[in-house]
Amino acid sequence: MQNRRDFLNMLCRGSILTGLAATTGILVYRSVKGGNCELGSSCTNCGKSDSCDLPEASLFRQTVWQLDPSKCIQCGRCAENCVMSPSAVKVTHVYAMCGYCDLCGGYLKPDTKNISTAAENQLCPTAAIKRKFVEDPFYQYTIDEPLCIGCAKCVKGCGAFGNGSLQLQVRHDRCVNCNECAIARDCPADAFSRVPANKPYLLQGIEAKPEERI
Partner 1 sequence: MKKTLAIVFLVFLFAVQFMNSYAIQRFPKPEFESGYVQPETLLPNPRAEMLAILDIAVLIISLSVVSWLVIKKRNRNAVFWMSVFALAYFGFYREGCVCSIGSIQNVTLAIFDTSYLIPLSAIIFFMAPLVYTAFFGRTFCAAVCPFGAIQDLVAFSPQKLGSRLNAVLGVIPYIYLGLAVLYAATGTDFIICRYDPFVGIWRLDASFGMFIFGGILLVVGIFIARPYCRFLCPYGVLLNWTSRFSRKHITITPAECIQCRLCENSCPYDAIEMPVTTKNPEDKGTMARKLIFITILIPILMLAGGWVGSRLHEPLASVNAKVRLAKQILNPVTEKNQPETFEIEAFKSAGKQQSQAFAEASVVLHKFYIGSWILGGFIGLVFGGLIAGRMMTKHRTDYTPNKGTCLSCVRCVDYCPVKLPK
| Segment 166 to 185, residues that bind partner 1, using CB under 8 A | 169, 171-173, 175-180, 182, 185
d(CA 62, CA 157): 34
As measured in angstroms, the least distance from the Cβ of 91 to partner 1 is 11
- The region of 53-61, 107-115, 121-129, 146-154 touching partner 1 under the rule CB under 8 A is 53-61
Instruction: Write the secondary structure of 166-209 as one string of H (helix), E (strand) and C (coil).
Output: EEEEECCCCCCCCCCCCCHHHCCCCCEEEEECCCCCCCCCCCCC
Single-letter amino acid, residue 173: D
d(CA 89, CA 87): 5
Task: Please select the residue that binds partner 1; options are 29, 46, 126, 213, rule is CB under 8 A.
Answer: 213
As measured in angstroms, the least distance from the Cβ of 35 to partner 1 is 5
d(CA 19, CA 166): 50
Residue in 186, 145, 185 with CA at minimum distance from that of residue 168? 145
CB closer to partner 1, 112 vs 140? 140
CB closer to partner 1, 119 vs 185? 185
As measured in angstroms, the least distance from the Cβ of 83 to partner 1 is 7
As measured in angstroms, the least distance from the Cβ of 108 to partner 1 is 15
Q: Is 83 in the site for partner 1 (CB under 8 A)?
A: yes
Length of the chain, please? 214
Task: Please select the residue that binds partner 1; options are 28, 46, 118, 127, rule is CB under 8 A.
Answer: 28
Q: Are 129 and 141 in contact (CB under 8 A)?
A: yes
Task: Please select the residue that binds partner 1; options are 38, 50, 116, 125, rule is CB under 8 A.
Answer: 38
Which residues in the 118-177 window bind partner 1 by CB under 8 A?
134-135, 138, 140, 142, 159-160, 162-164, 169, 171-173, 175-177
- Kindly state the DSSP code that residue 146 receives in the 8-state scheme: G
As measured in angstroms, the least distance from the Cβ of 74 to partner 1 is 9
Longest CA span, the chain: 92
